[in-house]
Amino acid sequence: MSSKIRIKDIAEMAGVSVGTVDRVLHDRPNISKTAREKVEKVLERINYQPNMYASALAYNKSYTFYLVVPQHESEAYWEEIEEGALKAAEVRRDFHVNVEIIYYNRFNSEAFIKQTNHCLALNPDGVIVVPSQLDITRPFTDQLHERNIPFVMLDSYMPDLQPLSFYGQDSLASGYFAAKMLMMIASGEKEIMILKQTKDGKVVSKQQENREMGFRTYMQDHFPQIKITDVNLPLEADKHEYTDILEDFFAQNPQIHHCITFNSKAHIVGNFLLQTNRRNVQIMGYDMVGKNAECLRQGSISFLIAQHAYMQGYACVETLFQAIVLKKKVDPINYMPIELLTKENVEFYRRTQL
């Protein structure tokens, strides 16, 4: 019914002017309480549904969303995020939506602060941010709230910061699931290795910490007798140093046949295993990046857990578009599916499915 009713018709039914109806529909000021109530009663009675798309196009405003992500190498998880975000902007180009990318050094808090201040200085219409530590990220998000700039969080969910929305996996559930899948082939082992890339002896991602917590919870509940050994690869080290560390570890621990890592760098061990022809060791990891996929096909990686990074990047921009441009409500928490990839099904994985 509402699609056939004009603003003029609503004005007549409410006994007010066309201008008053227009101000109510666009939530503009200078309307008396009585007039507003008359119009709203009519809108409710006829179940009026405004054409948000037509209104947004007619408004002819441009929107710039900033994607704040860690610096990274090519063929990385973050690169897929970027591709998805840029694709979403392309799909919404009729609405003059643009996405700009700001990089920061994830291992340097001052770099995060500098780049987020730069982002604020650019007066964004919306922001997608991969957070640093909570206390370092909070001043940035407090400023966004103060300026009424909506923001979406990626990678690590920090509800205290009150983002408009979050996209990512449930990290605890993901780690628990990873342990369950790994133990389908490693239940007879006495020891399992966890590979970590660390800065000053610590992983730099809250998401990886939570995955490990979920993993250890499952292992403690179901396989408490299996020893878990950590191997740290310093982030500042190079490929040759990694090779030396891994060579030394496996030479001293021939009893270990299964490893897991909670980041996207399973290929570091996967390639090492292929180069040294160690066919009795398998690794499980995260993310369908090219280097991981190749190790999966060649058999040095047994499982990969997909995060749908491309979909996350796309969905974050689309969420800002829906909330800012179309003024629609969006879901505050969006957990991505936990999918298990093997060499038998990797070719059927579709990163762009939305």
- Which CATH number is 13's domain given? 1.10.260.40
Dump pLDDT digits (tens) for 287-327: 988 899 999 999 999 999 998 889 999 999 999 999 999 88
Strands (E), the chain: 63-70, 97-104, 126-129, 151-154, 165-168, 191-198, 227-234, 258-261, 282-286, 301-306, 333-335, 339-341
Give the domain range for residue 30.
7-50
73 shares its domain with 129? yes
pLDDT at 1 over 50: no
87 shares its domain with 66? yes
Residue 33 lies in a domain: yes
301 shares its domain with 322? no
Stretch 142-150: mean pLDDT: 97
133 shares its domain with 216? no
Residue 93 lies in a domain: yes
Residues 6 or more apart whose CB falls under 8 angstroms from that of 17 comprise: 11
Residue 125 lies in a domain: yes
Structure tokens that stand for 317 in this block: 């921009």
Residue 131 lies in a domain: yes
Per-residue CA distances from 90 to 83, 85, 98, 325 (Å) = 11, 9, 8, 15
| Three-class DSSP category at 337 | coil
124 shares its domain with 230? no
Closest CA to 250 of 285, 278, 275, 271: 278
Residue 346 lies in a domain: no
93 shares its domain with 153? yes
What are the helix and strand counts (H, E) for the chain? 13, 12
CATH number of the domain residue 293 falls in? 3.40.50.2300
183 shares its domain with 160? no
* Residue 288, Cβ density class (10 Å: 0-12 exposed, 13-18 middle, ≥19 buried): buried
Residue 354 lies in a domain: no
Average pLDDT, the chain: 89
22 shares its domain with 97? no
**pLDDT of the residue at 257:** 95
**pLDDT of the residue at 284:** 96
pLDDT at 75 over 90: no
Structural domain tally of the chain?
3
pLDDT-derived band at 2 (thresholds 50, 70, 90) equals very low
| Three-class DSSP category at 227 | strand
Residue 343 lies in a domain: no
**Contact status, residue 314 vs residue 288, Cβ threshold 8 Å:** no
Amino acid at 5: I
71 shares its domain with 93? yes
207 shares its domain with 327? no
Dump pLDDT digits (tens) for 97-127: 999 999 999 888 899 999 999 999 999 999 9
**Contact status, residue 68 vs residue 128, Cβ threshold 8 Å:** yes
197 shares its domain with 276? yes
Residue 351 lies in a domain: no
**Contact status, residue 308 vs residue 340, Cβ threshold 8 Å:** no
151 shares its domain with 42? no
